[in-house]
Structure 1
Amino acid sequence: MPGLDEVSDIKSDGLRTASRHPVPKGEPILEMRALQKKYGAVEALKPASITFLSGEVHAIVGENGAGKSTLIKLLTGVIRRTSGEIYWCGKPVQLDNPQEAIARGINAVHQEVVLCPHLSVAANMFLGDEINNAGLMRKRAMTEAAQSVLDDLGFNLPAAATLGSLTIGQQQLVATARAAMRGTQFLIFDEPTAYLTRQESAQLFRLIRRLQGEGVTIVYISHRMEEVFELADRVSVLRDGTHVGTRKIGETNDAELITLMINRTIEQIYHKEHFQAGETILETRGLSGPGFEDVSLTVRAGEIVGLYGLIGAGRSEFALGLYGRHAATAGEVYWQGRKVNIANERKAMDLGIALAPESRRDQGLCLNLPIGLNINLPIFSRLTRGLTINRQKEIENADRQIKDLKIKTPSRRVLASAMSGGNQQKIVIGKWLSHGAKLFIFDEPTVGVDVGTKAEIYRLFARLLENGAGIILISSYLPEVYELSDRLHVFRRGRLVASHDYRAASHEEVLTQAIGV
């Protein structure tokens, strides 16, 4: 069966091929010269000039709205530039459509998987490049070839499985495998580890280094500075649609990059406000359910209780059990000193528990509804008299949350699907602020958002605590949960295995407890 290199050369089966070495390593492969994109009077990307070198890993960093998505769309032919030039291997090119970009070897792996969930993994990997014989699709051959590629890449994934049956992180790896087997020369990764486990991230990093060793140029877009410094040779910074600088990775640091991105220091990002803990809001005693067992913890007003562990350690499962989405099988829950039975989500909401889920797009929002409707969803009963909605109150509440949370939108009528990841997260939070919850459960609240939006979300946490709420913070990003939690609980294999007061343990100790070594 063919592996990665062989699959890229099966011309007879319709796969595109591209030379791995169009220009010598270290020479310019793609140049942007005063590249600009305007939508009417709005400049999404101001005239920017960036040179990408053959065989390098070139990171792009910047806040949401800085122009990163526009840059990806221009280089992959999804949108057309307003002005400026693009040079590929020293020659001017148009890149007017995705087909031209792909034919030249330019591909992208997007943060939100854009494949077909109802098709098999193999069918997705060969989508548009199907192997045919006399007009008949050779499904078995594609499955075998796809499995060989996945194995060759070190991805432990079944080629015959339906894509939709995989986790979001696994689907991201499939998208990566698809790009790798298409003879790519210039591969763009947009927040590729946002939904990956630690093990999956390690697999991805090995693939990136392997592709780089074969002469592929990698453009790596990430909000995680430690990944940028681990992988990149150079890094370019965008701010408000402007290219503000490019640095060699050995000649800069995260403090300089953050300052370039948002004109704030790194200390301002993870600013921690301490409040006097008040009454106990929630207590669990030996709570068990699907995916977690014997969890006992308390949450008091004015404090953040952090839950850390590897993906699948039981943190999210515990949160869903607590919220009533999955029935608990054992243990007790006390709400403000009174034993309660949270049989379903409505009971949790009525008590004053709010959940901002890990997948905001799938579980936290109605993407086809406007921002204002999403914000008001939990409180329409308060805005209604009989069968009539008080239109003025509806507008006032939505506009107030949009203003207070600094949601970047021209109107409450804009669909939630049109918003960036950071703004979508703010909409989810605004929805529960309207509800007036007492306990907020945030599951991976800053996945896929920039450092500026992170700082805004952290300030919002402080506001909730100041108003007497308690927070359960679930995060796979150790610096975040470590710096913000008043008490940090470590999960492993469905159990709570260790607990620490604020900064009482080192990063290494917490990680060791989570891994179990």
Structure 2
Amino acid sequence: MPERDTLIETRALTKRYPGVVALNAVDFDLKAGEVHVLFGENGAGKSTLISMLAGATPPTSGTIRVEGAEVAFQSVADARARGISAVFQEFSLVPTMTVAENIFLGDEPKRGPFTDRRGMVRRARDLFAELEFDIDPTMMVALLSRAQQQMVEIAKAFHADVSILILDEPTASLTDREVEHLFKVVARMKARGVGVIYISHRIQEFERIADRITVLRDGAKIGTVAMAETTEAQLIEMMAGRAISEIYPQIAAAPGDPLLEVRGLKAWGVKGVDFEVRPGEVLGIAGLVGSGKSRCFRALMGLLPVQGGTVALRGADVTGAPTRKIMDAGIYYLPPDRKNEGLQLAFTARDNLAQGIMIGKETRFGLLPWKEMYAEADAVAEQVELPPAYRDRLVAQLSGGNQQKTLFGRGLGKDYDVYILDEPTVGVDMGARAAIYRLVQRLAEAGKAVVVISSDLPEAMNLAHRLLVFSHGRITAELPKAEISEAAVLAHFFEG
């Protein structure tokens, strides 16, 4: 593209904090009508870069140019005045206001001296219709799901007169259908000449949406490549500094007799499934969002009502038993939503790990041996590769990867026989993923039964010794290791 098509560019952009260089002399540019992906592990500098481009953080040194003119943003409002709008991971919505009020906050339509509330709702409806998002503009934001709040944030950004749009993990809370809608909207924005800076850990999205990709590592730029001229394996090697073969371990399989047997299991969205889980192997579970793959195992764990069928652990019937009883019998379930279902965000990582240890630790007088438990928690922290510097931090202050390691560690506080891992690497970078995959390897090779439920198809395929494919609430295929391929799995995604 000619230089005049450059919307925004940086030269030697640097951000220093006491003792830390968060971004080191990074050159970056965005062209009109392109999607430029920023890719890297947590702590690579992606968020630091976009916070400076969006006016939220001033650089320590270096320059930012918008359409050729050097700028020095004093605030987010400054950046918005130059056509830059950002949707960050942490939402900026006011929960006690309606959807429409949030979208037009600070830019309310007027009828004379008064706010035109009907007009505001009407314009919000038109905006959601364009985006193909099913949201009621009169709803209070506090009553929306996280996915719906994500859609409101996106709509808020699109409402502005935008020429540069920054999307930070925009699909993390969206269903596959909602992702499709978002991609269509991004395509329309590109056609209008809008430039999009896109951050995601979902590397499988890049082929569909990216024109160019800039890879950051440890605050430095590793390189910029055209999506059409690179591969997933090359991107992972640039990001992690090691080949993809070093990310997914080769897990030895020594499967024993079935430990967990499920027959005709029915629950909401699950239409009668049969399968077995064996010790010494990894059972992969794949399927689209809404396929029933997660609901099946939530019902098995007593988190959803069982409507029919049986679940037997070592021959003993545990169908519909309370979750605590199922865990006491030897099954651990790692939930997909670590913040709402898995972790105590206001506690330290060490306290969270200790919670996985404390059951059955009470003394004769009902007291807990905290010194002993913290020593065991530190041993678990070593297993999950959680650095000592992070163990006394509040979990809410940790990166997604270290939060996920902490959640994983809670399951290592006791000796379980079956580990059901529901989206075990959601929202974490490749470095943390590699550490979690090593844990999966150690569990399986120690003779544990490991179930990996994942919407990330390469993850499910590379870890599994056997793979079950779910579609429309049913199991549509069971593939042994030798038959697992992307084509084979995708062929069964829409059956049932």
TM class, shorter-length: over 0.9
2:329 is equivalent to residue 351 of structure 1: yes
- Cα pair 1:405 1:430 within 8 Å, conserved: yes
Distance 1:132 1:382, change over 3 A: farther
2:445 is equivalent to residue 481 of structure 1: no
2:265 is equivalent to residue 287 of structure 1: yes
Structure-1 separation of matches of 2:415 and 2:74: 49
- Cα pair 1:25 1:55 within 8 Å, conserved: no
Instruction: Return 5+ residue gaps in structure 2 as ranges.
Output: none
Distance 1:482 1:253, change over 3 A: closer
- Cα pair 1:383 1:393 within 8 Å, conserved: no
- Cα pair 2:280 2:447 within 8 Å, conserved: yes
2:352 is equivalent to residue 374 of structure 1: yes
**1:41 alignment partner in structure 2:** 19
SS at the partner of 2:412? helix
SS at the partner of 1:32? strand
- Cα pair 1:26 1:55 within 8 Å, conserved: no
Residue-by-residue CA offset, 1:67-96 (whole Å, 9 max, x unaligned): 112122222222232222222222222223
Counting only pairs closer than 5 Å after superposition, residues 186-265 of structure 1 correspond to structure 2 as 186-265=164-243
Q: 1:130 aligns with which of 100, 103, 108?
A: 108
Structure-2 separation of matches of 1:449 and 1:435: 25
- Cα pair 1:327 1:344 within 8 Å, conserved: no
Counting only pairs closer than 5 Å after superposition, residues 25-36 of structure 1 correspond to structure 2 as 27-36=5-14
Distance 1:114 1:45, change over 3 A: same
- Cα pair 1:24 1:54 within 8 Å, conserved: no
Q: 1:146 aligns with which of 102, 124, 130?
A: 124
**1:490 alignment partner in structure 2:** 469
Residue-by-residue CA offset, 1:388-408 (whole Å, 9 max, x unaligned): 443332332232233332225
- 1:410 CA drift (Å): 1.7
Structure-2 separation of matches of 1:389 and 1:146: 54
Structure-2 separation of matches of 1:118 and 1:289: 35
- 1:164 CA drift (Å): 5.0
Structure-1 separation of matches of 2:143 and 2:269: 18
Residue-by-residue CA offset, 1:385-435 (whole Å, 9 max, x unaligned): 335443332332232233332225624221111111111111110111113
- 1:29 CA drift (Å): 2.1
Structure-2 separation of matches of 1:301 and 1:516: 29
Structure-1 separation of matches of 2:491 and 2:120: 41
- 1:328 CA drift (Å): 1.3
SS at the partner of 1:440? strand
Q: 1:65 aligns with which of 43, 52, 61?
A: 43
Deviates more, 1:399-408 or 1:208-217: 399-408
Distance 1:342 1:363, change over 3 A: same
The one-letter code sitting in structure 1 at the alignment partner of 2:443 is L
Structure-2 separation of matches of 1:95 and 1:45: 17
Structure-2 separation of matches of 1:26 and 1:165: 45
Structure-2 separation of matches of 1:26 and 1:315: 49
2:492 is equivalent to residue 507 of structure 1: no
Structure-1 separation of matches of 2:249 and 2:99: 43
Residue-by-residue CA offset, 1:445-482 (whole Å, 9 max, x unaligned): 22222222222211111111122211222112222212
Structure-1 separation of matches of 2:59 and 2:208: 32
Structure-1 separation of matches of 2:324 and 2:96: 31
Deviates more, 1:236-245 or 1:167-176: 167-176
**1:410 alignment partner in structure 2:** 389
Structure-1 separation of matches of 2:130 and 2:182: 13
Instruction: Return 5+ residue gaps in structure 1 as ranges.
Output: 1-22
Give the TM-score of the pair, scaled to structure 2.
Answer: 0.93
**2:153 alignment partner in structure 1:** 175
Distance 1:349 1:119, change over 3 A: farther
- Cα pair 1:490 1:510 within 8 Å, conserved: yes
- Cα pair 1:291 1:317 within 8 Å, conserved: yes
- Cα pair 1:233 1:248 within 8 Å, conserved: yes
- 1:163 CA drift (Å): 4.1
2:414 is equivalent to residue 435 of structure 1: yes
2:379 is equivalent to residue 400 of structure 1: yes
Structure-2 separation of matches of 1:247 and 1:382: 54
2:83 is equivalent to residue 105 of structure 1: yes
- Cα pair 1:324 1:347 within 8 Å, conserved: no
Q: 2:404 aligns with which of 391, 401, 425?
A: 425
- Cα pair 1:357 1:364 within 8 Å, conserved: yes
Q: 2:93 aligns with which of 84, 93, 115?
A: 115
Deviates more, 1:150-159 or 1:200-209: 150-159
- 1:166 CA drift (Å): 4.7
Structure-2 separation of matches of 1:503 and 1:128: 58
SS at the partner of 1:354? strand
Q: 1:308 aligns with which of 265, 276, 286?
A: 286
**2:450 alignment partner in structure 1:** 471
The one-letter code sitting in structure 1 at the alignment partner of 2:61 is S
**1:17 alignment partner in structure 2:** none
Deviates more, 1:236-245 or 1:189-198: 189-198
Structure-2 separation of matches of 1:367 and 1:274: 36
Deviates more, 1:111-120 or 1:26-35: 111-120
- 1:97 CA drift (Å): 1.9
Distance 1:121 1:375, change over 3 A: same
Report the aligned-residue RMSD: 2.4
- Cα pair 2:357 2:377 within 8 Å, conserved: no
The one-letter code sitting in structure 1 at the alignment partner of 2:259 is I
- 1:118 CA drift (Å): 5.1
Distance 1:340 1:268, change over 3 A: same
Structure-2 separation of matches of 1:255 and 1:510: 20
The one-letter code sitting in structure 2 at the alignment partner of 1:173 is M
Give the TM-score of the pair, scaled to structure 1.
Answer: 0.89
- 1:366 CA drift (Å): 1.3
